[in-house]
Structure 1
């Protein structure tokens, strides 16, 4: 008999759906506190699972819409949340749902295998105010400049969203215990954009071109489009390392370079501050 055949149906479903349930009370409180949920808030929870976080959120939020793709778990959630009439359980795939039209926050301990899809859904939702997500530790580090490197997704969305690594969560806080630790990742929509809205598309194009990596460094890549002399001057004025590979340039430096080199460029010295 193969190992797969010996595995119970419940265990196979957990593996298929990437189910690791957050059960540690202190970790749950940390997530709720990090989400900054207020009494008037609408909260959407992807992957409600056994409802531990759902109940904690319901104690503070005006309403919690809890999505669960597993029919077995979804059927049990109304009973588990019966003390909280402000919880609406939806059996279905969160990433196929239509986002609310009113301002809302996303809070969830999400399936690791669906992290990219869930994050993209959040970023594409016009009324989203913030997303506080429990992800794999490595994912949260990569998206927030861990190891001194920055990903294209973070850089592209930086004018609209602030990405923050909040805290590490030990793997023992979950059942079953996953192979790696997790982290609380918070993505918050900025109250004021760092660029005018009509320049966001041009900025994303600027970043996409920079991340092609042609030439070995960001300066070499940008020089192909904006000219060697102009690019060299911008890097020198903004004190950006001319030899830095693309991933080691901070989001603030990307913004400054765009303002210096992009359409309708301003004086490089007036560009957003570099950190």
Structure 2
């Protein structure tokens, strides 16, 4: 389940192209209006496919020009490609008209109902809507995994690659594993964005690490409330036995909240709640 933290969105819209300026085609202008950066590097597409290992039903948000759509179909996935831009959707439909394994839907995937059957999400998504799409994925009860090309900093922070973890990652950790699975340089996209990207893999665990959803989320929200500057200070506003719980989890008393590993949050919860 996704949880709404006001400070969760660390995605940003694209900057200017290095060689920007001058006249632009209507197609390029459309890309910019939608903050779109289409993937044009076959090696990057292969990386996404290797991480996703697609099979069965796959939903692709923001399918764009279809580079990932075609790769998914070649690997035998049953693809539902979502595209909100009318021109791109029409071209994508025409290119895949003879492929029964591809269905193109002109819609925003986050405004649709998730399938009842198990499905995966694979896509190159706009930086400006990353949090919205990730939240939709986390809230989908039948989602098995999401393999997403996101802004590098977003992927690093949400996967703990910086040694820090976002509140979204921590709140959903008992149910989802988060992993950074490779970087993709900005030169792999057109128009060229101002920052590099990465492949973020979110995978549902076979069994949750925590059963008590409400109490775990409440614990995380309290920890990230910012009361006192450390996880100890925040938790002591609402819980007894915090020092003992932190000691069992191996957390120093002055540890800043986003430096606490998600597995340690699970241990603290078990000590304080279970």
Matches within 5 A, 1:75-224: 75-196=90-211, 199-224=212-237
Q: Calculate the TM-score normalised by the size of structure 1.
A: 0.89
Q: Which sections of structure 2, spanning at least 5 residues, go unmatched?
A: 1-19
Residue number in structure 2 paired with 1:20:
37
Equivalences, count: 255
**RMSD between superposed Cα atoms in Å:** 1.6
> 2 CA distance for matches of 1:237 and 1:68?
49
Which segment drifts farther, 218-227 or 77-86?
77-86
1:245 aligns with 2:252: no
8 Å contact kept, 1:214–1:221: yes
Q: Deviations over 1:225-249 (max 9, x none)?
A: 113xx21122223321110011100
Greater percentage in helix: 1
Q: 2:63 aligns with which of 48, 62, 87?
A: 48
> 1 CA distance for matches of 2:121 and 2:40?
19
Structure possessing the higher relative contact order (Cα contacts under 8 Å, 6 or more residues apart): 2
8 Å contact kept, 1:43–1:61: no
Residue number in structure 1 paired with 2:13:
none
Q: 1:32 aligns with which of 49, 55, 59?
A: 49
Residue number in structure 2 paired with 1:268:
none
8 Å contact kept, 1:51–1:81: no
Residue number in structure 2 paired with 1:68:
83
Q: In structure 1, the residue corresponding to 2:59 is in which secondary structure? A: strand
Residue number in structure 1 paired with 2:16:
none
> 2 CA distance for matches of 1:62 and 1:152?
33
8 Å contact kept, 2:79–2:102: yes
Q: Which sections of structure 1, spanning at least 5 residues, go unmatched?
A: 266-275
1:255 aligns with 2:270: no
Q: In structure 2, the residue corresponding to 1:209 is in which secondary structure? A: helix
Q: In structure 2, the residue corresponding to 1:186 is in which secondary structure? A: strand
1:7 deviates by: 5.1
Q: In structure 2, the residue corresponding to 1:66 is in which secondary structure? A: strand
Structure 1 residues 144 and 87 mapped into 2: Cα distance closer, same or farther (>3 Å)? same
1:82 deviates by: 3.7
Q: Deviations over 1:48-75 (max 9, x none)?
A: 1011110110012341000001000000
> 2 CA distance for matches of 1:156 and 1:84?
40
